[in-house]
Structure 1
């Protein structure tokens, strides 16, 4: 079967929709389009108004559709609601053959066995990520094919999400002319684009600060330890500014973008902001440090949630690769200093790591450098791998159809 010619990464956020479309050129994805459009009908990453969200997506699709009639036939879309959860699971099977050699069917059986966990009826498994295989008690095996042993075990991370939300996402994509290639959890897509193998080996947390949610993924020794999604994001920072300054939300967003700073001690006490420049009906000169204190308070709360998750994994302050911040909220000046203080980790602003097999000139350069496009780029890279681009087709892990919305190997 021929692999699809196009992969479209679709990041549907609370505030904006990001799209990256790539074409297969000799096994390499060439970026053909990168678009950002206002979103609608979502709250905290969840669809709450189907007509409004469909209309917003139709506008975003309109330009991409001009590339080719096939550009929307292989859409990899994110699921980013705070109901997305993860849990560790184990599977154990006896090796089936008399010679005790491990074959593909043994690996299939043990991976399926690891998915026999208690998933509520209204939830759907999105990923089943293999962290390691264990043969007769010997672990840290990534590929046991051909090894000898009597007992095969697997340690997996099961990521599941609220089933109605997945159905809603699939529905709006199909209503607007797209065809689903796969559904990917936000923390998985972001890590695919923004984290290097070295970072995953050393130990790293990726923190994606969106408008309505903040998500994280934690890696160490190349294994995904856990993911989490919190119902708070940079939009809450905007709301806090609006309440604190008694101005409209639109004006608060402008002030955040032009004068926002996440680390109040770095802001001079004599720096002032004329509120009337952003809200004509408002009056007064406000210290910029006061605005920064509002921003810092909310973001400190976000990082407290992140730190609590790291504590639950036993990794608070203990990741050699530090923290990587992405998403629209990561653009706020001073945020890396605040994160460094709150998380007790080295911190850097992240973006899509240049891929030696991804090309596309200015379009690719622009979206690769933008922390807000990390998830969309990650969805393209994930989709390209699932679609068989620049990837051997004879692998145990190719038997799983991406439309089943599962993933057996760590991205």
Structure 2
């Protein structure tokens, strides 16, 4: 029986966000609780101090417990480590029935065959994404159940991650009192929340700019082509400003948020920022265009990484659905124009698709209009897909096999 509550826990480099949703009669999740806490013990998407990270997760899940003990027993957690890889795999099996009809056990068997891949030490499979099934040489089949054929194949994209990083996230959640319902790779969560089916059909790249990392996933013909995470994000922009202006990091973050702009040519040469507004006792002013040049330089480097990934896929400048930006870094003014310039793609800031949700509290509407909450909202949608809250809706092609059980005593 499907659970009635799902909690999404997104332990980011700078912020830990939590969402709790309740299943409605029509199967849609109803947003019940949304909040965030500053993160500790996390660096570039990976836990570096288990004690500190567990304390933050503990405070967050304590609030969840006050609202619903049931939600605490069904927590979906994002995995944001850059030490993750993707590889294409293929499984082949003979159809077992005499009448050649394909049953569920045939599908399960060919999926298991596709998971027989070589993994480096300390890597574990997070997802086995089914891109297409092939029956007797005829491909592009989403679900072969009930079809007839002698040979069944599956084309998959396997996502594996550094096991110690995954165990760290799991352990922090468990020490905080949460019971894990699923572990999901961060960019896929963002894609589930912010991308429509038409965008995935056309071809689109989603770019998730977090504080310590930047993730991406590429879709075409409703198939996941590629996904990865880079160890650079909005926090690197802050550090660059601190170094360039020789000011404290805290002041650099405030200046970035209040006066930052991603495209230097659009900032007037005479615009200045008074330092004493951010650093008590400081004298003088700094050029706002110089700040924009620092920001543009770092962001252009990040988008250059993404451009290289698209070139390897043969999709550079060739995704009709364009680029969709999410995460805190997507709120930087001028960033869509910079992405258009660097990637030669139509660009927009992505928001959570509100139609999939039931909302009673109007105060929660602001979270659907904030790209920072795309990931944590996507965790709930993934959980609802996994637990078939809405059987009639299109379910996710990714099946989470409760992989955390392999690490439990």
- TM-score with structure 1 setting the length: 0.95
**Partners of 2:126 and 2:161 within 8 A in 1:** yes
Structure 1 CA distance for aligned equivalents of residues 210 and 216 of structure 2 = 11
State the 1:405 CA deviation: 6.0
- SS of equivalent residue, structure 1 residue 70: helix
**Residue 197 of structure 1 aligns with which residue?**
197
The Cα of 1:279 is off from its aligned counterpart by: 1.3
| Aligned match of 1:144 | 144
Q: Secondary structure at the match of 2:279?
A: coil
Tell me how far 1:401 sits from its aligned partner. Answer: 6.3
- Verify: 1:244 aligned to 2:273, yes or no: no
- Residue by residue over 1:28-68, the C-alpha shift from the partner in whole angstroms, topping out at 9 and shown as x without a partner, is 21100111110010110110001111111222223222212
Aligned residue in 2 for 1:20 = 19
Deviation string, structure 1 residues 69-92 (Cα, Å, up to 9, x no partner):
222110000000101211111111
What secondary structure does 1:119 align onto?
Answer: coil
Q: 1:4 matched to which residue of 2?
A: 3
- Once the two structures are TM-superposed, the CA of residue 131 in structure 1 deviates from its matched residue by 0.3
Provide Cα deviations, 1:378-402, integer angstroms capped at 9, x if missing partner.
0010011212312269x9x99x664
Q: 1: distance between equivalents of 2:284 and 2:374? A: 38
Deviations 1:343-378 (A, max 9, x none): 000000111011344334325412211100000000
Conservation of the 8 A alpha-carbon contact between 1:28 and 1:359: no
Whole-Å Cα distance in 2 between the matches of residues 77 and 281 of structure 1?
A: 44
Residue 409 of structure 1 is matched in structure 2 by none
Q: For residue 306 of structure 2, what is the aligned residue in structure 1?
A: 306
Write the distance in 1 (CA, Å) between the matches of 2:356 and 2:300: 36
Q: Does 1:65 align with 2:35?
A: no
Whether the 8 Å CA contact 2:28–2:356 is kept in 1: the answer is: no
Q: 2:89: which partner in 1?
A: 89
Q: Which sits farther off after the overlay, 361-370 or 85-94?
A: 361-370
Moved more, 352-361 or 310-319: 352-361
Is this contact kept in 2: 1:33–1:363, CA < 8 A?
no
The reply to whether residue 278 of structure 1 matches residue 250 of structure 2 is no
Between the aligned partners of 2:359 and 2:5, the Cα distance in structure 1 is 14
After superposition, where does 1:211-222 map in structure 2 within 5 Å? 211-222=211-222
2:115 aligned residue: 115
CA contact (8 A) 1:31 1:363 kept: no
Distance (whole Å) between structure 2 residues aligned to residue 13 and residue 347 of structure 1: 24
Say yes or no: does 1:320 pair with 2:329: no
- Give the SS at the match of 2:99: coil
The separation in 2 between residues aligned to 1:295 and 1:362, in whole angstroms, is 35
Q: Please tell me the root mean square deviation across aligned C-alpha atoms, in Å.
A: 1.9
User: Within 5 A, what are the aligned runs for 1:126-275?
Assistant: 126-275=126-275
CA distance in structure 1 between the partners assigned to 2:48 and 2:204 by the alignment: 33
**Aligned 8 A contact 1:350 1:371 in 2:** yes
- On the 8 A contact 1:184/1:405 being kept in 2, the answer is no
For residues 363 and 88 of structure 1, what CA distance do their matches in structure 2 show? 43
Instruction: State the SS of the aligned residue for 1:302.
Output: helix
**For 2:262 and 2:144, how far apart are their aligned partners in 1?**
48
Number of aligned residue pairs = 403
- Aligned equivalent of 2:353: 353
Deviations along 1:106-133, one digit per CA (max 9) or x if unpaired, are: 1111111111111123111111010000
Structure 2 alignment gaps of length 5 or more: none
Structure 1 portions without partners, runs of 5+:
407-411
